[in-house]
Structure 1
Amino acid sequence: MGVKVSVVVPVSEPGPDDDAFDACVRSLLEQTMPSDEYEVIFADDRSGDGTRERLDAVAAVRPNVRVLHLEHTGTPARGRNVGLAVASGEYVYLLGQRDRLERVALETMYRAAVEADADVLIGRLVRGDDPPSRAFARNRERADLFRDRLLALPTAHKLFRRAFLDSREIRFPDIEPEMSEQAFVVKAYLTAKVVAVLADQVCCHLGRARPSEATPLARAAGVRAVLDVIDEYSDPGDQRDRLYAHWFRTGVLRPLGGRRLLSATVGRRAGLFAALRDLTLERFPPELDGHLPVHLRARALLLRSGQLGRLVALNEAATGTSLHAELRDVRWDESILTLDLAVEIVSSDGEPVTFAAAGDRLLWTPPLDDLTLPPALADVTEAVDKARIEVYIRHTGNGLIFFIPVTGEVCRSQENDRVRVWAVGRARLDVGSAALGRPLRAGEWEVHVRMHGGAQQARTRVAGHRGAQLSCVGVLAGHPRKLVIPCWSEQKELSVYVEPKSFADSIVLVSPGASVTHRDGEVFIVLPVPYVPPSGGPPAELVLRQATARARTITVPALVEPGVPGRFPGQLVAKVPVGRLPSEGHLTPGIWTPHLKIDAQESPLRFAIDLTRSRRARVRPTTDPTTLTPRPSPLTRLLSHLPGGHLTTRALQKLRTRYLPPPP
């Protein structure tokens, strides 16, 4: 049987301590596809850091690995082209030296490409905390360039039919590396008969991209090369205009916005502005601006008129725009977690972003006092009508991200001539199918929300509404059944934990919701218990340690009381006597860190108990007890105000530590 897939990896000076490159190599050698059905081609750009020898050593013991030793060019284009020329696979996958494949990636992508008879197949990509592209909303055997948002996936991380690339003479041009990739991909998009999307299997984890070192003129030349491809392989009309508008937005206006422009040196800023302005006047007529979001129309207006200073001022004024998302309610509907949200885009001062009312139209007001857009460019009525919120979850361990269904509406209110726009929505998390029809993996899943508000878009974590308390009730959900618990992070942000490792871990997750009550000289410490098994759970004890150099320890039994599954959490109650002076088994003034002890194993809880000298206890949220500072005694506070008092305090501390007996 012939080679099914060739993987081409351009390599340039990764260094002997580059963990990302090591992970890349391991991921290629550990594929589930049989080794005689795929090959790996490393195209080394004359690395002088020992990489060539390391790769040669791998190739010596792996027959399906080849190393090409090339002359140094400093760009990956030649390595990719040479790799494509010598590849023997039916399909070719292009990988970066800091990326890594899932073990099943080649086998799964090849099978999907053959079933769809695809010239190009795009396997699901993951990059750190970034939300996934909507192109991965579902599998597509016949993807559309615009409907399925393929332009949002411009990198070369795709499976290409090798005969298709050869017949269309698709290769990487020798231009700025980022634009070289985009020119290669857009030609493939425009000439392929079938482009397919594999969304339900993560295939590639993208490594951290290196900052571009291209000169402004090189970047402008790269954009021109992409536009030349568009001119050659598309007809004049709406499709070409939308393609041009996309590269105007990403290749020209985006580099001139936000922190990237503000952090550039004055000379580089002026050079970039001049090069991209010449390109804009040459290739991007004003008629394209209607395809842009309104804040980029303002940027385009200042670019064409040569107003660099005002463009910088516009960026400074717009910095800090963010999303405010509040969790109004969270509840279980059978085994589906339902979240009620209110979401609004706010400016840097925390005030809601509003629009000017002009009859039945809404106009965007630039955050720059002396900048006014013509009404035709400022009109955002249709964009506001299409405003929406999106909710997605992210696994804290492996970075997997999935969107979850949201229903809701966009709300408006008008005061004088300003219109405020926000959205309310209801998201439903089905643990059994949220991973594109599959159950969620075990672990912690953060809840994020993103809003497209007509003029801008922003994203954030979901937080509580005005200190709202989370029910913390857990249920058994999915198939097979797994315990699922909503919980707060230490930043009061919502997460959902799937399948805690133990009964103790489930309580630790929600322990920031602990409370205390007082009765007859005793403190009752109450912890929520997300789910109490029918057996009632194992015997438990609460261990409290005083946060001082001579820490005392108190251990008391804890009673677990069941709640109502799916409605109310259970609770763990521990009764602790309180005293003024240190004595065995009594809580005394100071800060105490609690631990849950089950089956002789202790688990630190995410709060502390602070007992005042009036013997009133309160809960202090914390995830790191070492950050707690014990309250100084009255004598210590008095000495701190006297000359030489700090020396006396240190002497007393040494005396107590060295010569006094340890506490019980």
Structure 2
Amino acid sequence: MIDGTSESPKVSVVVPAYNSGPHIEKLVDSLLRQSMPASRFEAVFVDDGSTDGTPARLDALAAAHPHLRVVHIENSGWPSRPRNIGVAHARGEYVMFVDDDDWLGDEALERMYGYGATHGADVVIGRMAGHGGRGVPRELFRRNRADATLANSPLIDSLTCHKMFRRGFLDEHELRFPEGWPRRLEDHRMVVRAYLLSKRTCVLSDYTCYHHNRRDDSGNVTAGRLDPQEYFTALRETLDVVDAHVEPGPLRDRLHRRWLRHQMLDRLRGRRLLEAPAEWAEQVAAQVRDIIRERFAAGVAAGLPPMYRILAHLAERDRLADLRRLAEWERTLRAAARIEGHALAGSTLTLTVAAWLESGDGPVAVGRDGDRDLLVLPVADVPAELRDVTTALGAGRVDVVARHQEGGDEVFLPVTSTVERVVGPDGTAHAVHRGTVTVDYRTVNAGRTAGTWRLKARVTSLARTQDVRLPLLVRCAADGATPRVVDETAFLFRLRQVVRRRVPAGLLVRPSPRGRRG
């Protein structure tokens, strides 16, 4: 019985909870604000043997709100078992997995269920926003996708379980989270199997449904404490899922490439490698080497972007010292951008941005070898074909993204992007990417524009993507209202002028040129 009716809920939200403390309150508040009526959804909290006040808090919620339920279990130490138990207790047509320190957009359940039911989806993915430095997929949410597959969209970028699954689909294929050892990558093993079995997967991109948070006190396992043997055993099992459903060929290579990039090579680059304990890095490098040699076809590494091709080459050949040298260089890489012009005519914003990739004191350089552009690296004995960035240099672009300061929503603004190859006096070259935005700001985010929006450039150059903040804010007094643009560069200039007039010259301290960035 739910809210006085015998109707089964349309959605069951399953939440594993362990020592959640006050961090669960944002989720609770978002559940109580849902636009979907309480009679049409339920939340099943599975308390994984918490030792703080979480059990009492959940029991009080369940007593006050009939559509919020609690199951208490002995501590399992990992989210898989609580999620599986939550599914066993769920009564909804769809099951939505949510973590206890994340939260939902107010219309998330109604919109995701409506989109999924309309299209007969087995899996529904709602647009995500990251908080506290939490990364979320971006390219996947450029537009709504009523029939997304691993072949026609970047679904593989989204492997966390924070999605809506049709309950009958989960039961038909016995889709559950793996319990026992290894416990790592349990999301990946379940979700990639779901993608491969799903008859229809929908991506809802015009509303931020899921807010993914990174807590400062979450106790996430760091690189130094991650057990390489357990982790890469789980990764091999994930590859087994792919291999069981996808024949050898371009699609399998593309899927394998996802784990090679993000779960393997990203651990051997930049700060992540340099700040890791030496013994741990050696163990990870050995695991990466073995998987490349044993599991991946030649087409996997060959299809990587240039920097990853080089990393894979060094890793496969046990060149850990050279990986460290490359990491030192990569640590200095950053995106840079400047606004070349902006104007607001009524509600139409026009903006031109130039952006590039920098390393050290200047743009990332490439040298010319015949008709090829070759990346200039601090590592010797890297074949020219791996350093060839001719295609990548021309394929780069700059996007302009608006991020809502209050809510965390991110939307791509429509942009026309071009690239210019600039040759320096020493004969080396670099790419400058220009993007021009022209948009009626009242239409941004489907008209939900109230608040302050910070603009940033998303630079993709040499197949590397990085964000850089632009000194522009767009403020809207209400949804669909005519915007106001704040140029922070002009504001700071005026502020300095005021300070100079009011503060005696001898008290002003000029910043060191070495501490400034363009």
TM-score (norm 1): 0.70
Where does residue 61 of structure 1 map in the other structure?
64
**1:4 aligned residue (4, 10, 17):** 10
Tell me if the contact between 2:401 and 2:456 (Cα under 8 Å) persists in the aligned partners.
yes
Give the whole-Å Cα distance in 2 for the aligned partners of 1:440 and 1:29: 21
Q: Which runs of 4+ in 1 moved over 6 A?
A: 474-479, 629-633
Q: What letter matches 1:412 in structure 2?
A: R
Where does residue 515 of structure 2 map in the other structure?
none
Where does residue 41 of structure 1 map in the other structure?
44
Aligned pairs for 1:86-101 (under 5 A) are 86-101=89-104
Segment of structure 1 superposing worse, 144-153 or 308-317: 144-153
Where does residue 549 of structure 1 map in the other structure?
none
**2:326 aligned residue (297, 311, 314):** 314
Residue 430 of structure 1: CA displacement? 2.1
- Cα 1:619/1:149, change in 2 over 3 Å: farther
- Cα 1:50/1:303, change in 2 over 3 Å: same
Where does residue 206 of structure 2 map in the other structure?
200
Give the whole-Å Cα distance in 2 for the aligned partners of 1:46 and 1:475: 46
Where does residue 389 of structure 1 map in the other structure?
398
Where does residue 462 of structure 2 map in the other structure?
454
Give the whole-Å Cα distance in 1 for the aligned partners of 2:159 and 2:137: 14
Give the whole-Å Cα distance in 1 for the aligned partners of 2:428 and 2:493: 41
Tell me if the contact between 1:340 and 1:425 (Cα under 8 Å) persists in the aligned partners.
yes
Residue 345 of structure 1: CA displacement? 0.8
Residue 307 of structure 1: CA displacement? 1.9
Residue 192 of structure 1: CA displacement? 0.3
**1:410 aligned residue (409, 416, 419):** 419
CA deviation profile, 1:98-122 (whole Å, cap 9, x unmatched): 1101221111111111111100010
Q: What letter matches 1:57 in structure 2?
A: A
TM-score (norm 2): 0.88
Give the whole-Å Cα distance in 2 for the aligned partners of 1:99 and 1:457: 26
Tell me if the contact between 1:261 and 1:269 (Cα under 8 Å) persists in the aligned partners.
yes
Higher relative contact order (CA 8 A, sep 6+): 2
**2:118 aligned residue (115, 133, 156):** 115
Aligned pairs for 1:152-171 (under 5 A) are 152-171=157-176
Q: Secondary structure of 1:433's partner?
A: helix
- Cα 1:283/1:94, change in 2 over 3 Å: same
Where does residue 398 of structure 1 map in the other structure?
407
- Cα 1:178/1:422, change in 2 over 3 Å: farther
Tell me how large the CA RMSD over aligned residues is.
2.6
Whether 2:347 is the aligned partner of 1:335: answer yes
Tell me if the contact between 2:137 and 2:158 (Cα under 8 Å) persists in the aligned partners.
no
Residue 200 of structure 1: CA displacement? 0.9
Whether 2:452 is the aligned partner of 1:444: answer yes
Residue 230 of structure 1: CA displacement? 0.2
Whether 2:414 is the aligned partner of 1:377: answer no
Whether 2:19 is the aligned partner of 1:13: answer yes
Q: Secondary structure of 2:420's partner?
A: strand
Higher helix proportion, which one?
Answer: 2
Aligned pairs for 1:139-158 (under 5 A) are 139-158=144-163
Give the whole-Å Cα distance in 1 for the aligned partners of 2:204 and 2:195: 16
Residue 176 of structure 1: CA displacement? 5.3
Aligned pairs for 1:551-590 (under 5 A) are none
Where does residue 180 of structure 1 map in the other structure?
186
Tell me if the contact between 1:92 and 1:161 (Cα under 8 Å) persists in the aligned partners.
yes
Q: Secondary structure of 1:141's partner?
A: strand
Q: What letter matches 2:414 in structure 1?
A: P
**1:359 aligned residue (362, 370, 381):** 370
Q: Secondary structure of 1:172's partner?
A: coil
Give the whole-Å Cα distance in 1 for the aligned partners of 2:165 and 2:505: 66
Give the whole-Å Cα distance in 1 for the aligned partners of 2:208 and 2:87: 24
Residue 632 of structure 1: CA displacement? 8.1
Tell me if the contact between 2:160 and 2:191 (Cα under 8 Å) persists in the aligned partners.
yes
Residue 361 of structure 1: CA displacement? 2.1
Give the whole-Å Cα distance in 2 for the aligned partners of 1:203 and 1:475: 23
Where does residue 54 of structure 2 map in the other structure?
51
Q: What letter matches 2:187 in structure 1?
A: E
CA deviation profile, 1:234-290 (whole Å, cap 9, x unmatched): 122111111111111111111222212211122222222223333332213443211
Aligned pairs for 1:200-239 (under 5 A) are 200-208=206-214, 210=218, 211-212=220-221, 213-239=225-251
Tell me if the contact between 2:195 and 2:201 (Cα under 8 Å) persists in the aligned partners.
yes
**1:82 aligned residue (82, 85, 94):** 85
Where does residue 27 of structure 2 map in the other structure?
24
- Cα 1:282/1:430, change in 2 over 3 Å: same
Tell me if the contact between 2:442 and 2:483 (Cα under 8 Å) persists in the aligned partners.
no
Give the whole-Å Cα distance in 2 for the aligned partners of 1:476 and 1:303: 50
Where does residue 432 of structure 1 map in the other structure?
442
Where does residue 270 of structure 2 map in the other structure?
258
Give the whole-Å Cα distance in 1 for the aligned partners of 2:160 and 2:196: 15
CA deviation profile, 1:392-418 (whole Å, cap 9, x unmatched): 011222211111011131111345653
Residue 214 of structure 1: CA displacement? 3.1
Give the whole-Å Cα distance in 1 for the aligned partners of 2:345 and 2:65: 53
Whether 2:325 is the aligned partner of 1:347: answer no
Give the whole-Å Cα distance in 2 for the aligned partners of 1:166 and 1:214: 32
Tell me if the contact between 2:397 and 2:435 (Cα under 8 Å) persists in the aligned partners.
no
Instruction: Indicate the structure (1 or 2) with the bigger Cα radius of gyration.
Output: 1
Aligned pairs for 1:530-549 (under 5 A) are none
Residue 332 of structure 1: CA displacement? 2.9
CA deviation profile, 1:482-516 (whole Å, cap 9, x unmatched): 34222233xx3xxxxxxxxxxxxxxxxx76564xx
Give the whole-Å Cα distance in 2 for the aligned partners of 1:479 and 1:2: 35
Give the whole-Å Cα distance in 2 for the aligned partners of 1:479 and 1:48: 44
Residue 153 of structure 1: CA displacement? 1.2
- Cα 1:417/1:429, change in 2 over 3 Å: same
